[in-house]
Amino acid sequence: MMATRKNYTPEEYKLMGRCVNEIVDQLAEEMYKNFGLLCSAQGGSRPYDIESIGVEFTLHQCVSIEEARELEVKATERFVEIVNAHEAVRPYLRDYPWDHKRAKVRLAFYAKDGKYYYDGLSLVLQNHDMISYFAPDTYSPNEMHKIKKEPYIEAKEIVDTSPSCLKPFVVPKKRSFFGLFWPFLP
């Protein structure tokens, strides 16, 4: 589908940006709370309207293909739900209802020290209706190679018909400064 040039006012462009930020903020909060995914980047494409929105998440955990698939599908599906429920962004979307093809979710898996887990995946991304899985190259520490590619619809069907394989995640509670001294207070 071709984009048609629209003449938005500067206020409409600001509203468009604010709507996208609200959507990404909501998704980032939910993905952290539910799965421990940290939002590390966001982007998109809007030559004349909002063509796509992309979000990158990081998880400091070694994952299998099955776990990565489930995380990718759940994050993408929730992303689509949030976009479609946000009424203020609708006039600026290329297509409504929004679908998974326009929601770009990328998941990166590495240790807190920045090193990849060599016994798991390093990157998963959904683009052009396909999910691609990458693992670190054992010979070049900063290189990755594609180990699997599957259609998004097939991955979603697998996730929808299989029991969850994700490990439970507990959000660490923040301790207040005074909470650190509680045992020592009279």
Instruction: Dump pLDDT digits (tens) for 71-125.
Output: 999 999 999 999 999 999 999 898 899 999 999 999 999 888 888 888 889 999 9
Domain spans of the chain, in order of start: 10-184
Which pLDDT score, from 0 to 100, does residue 32 have? 94
Residue 173 has pLDDT above 80, yes or no: no
Task: Give the pLDDT mean for 2-6.
Answer: 57
Q: Which residue has the tokens 């207040």?
A: 176
Better-predicted residue by pLDDT, 65 or 168 = 65
pTM > 0.75: yes
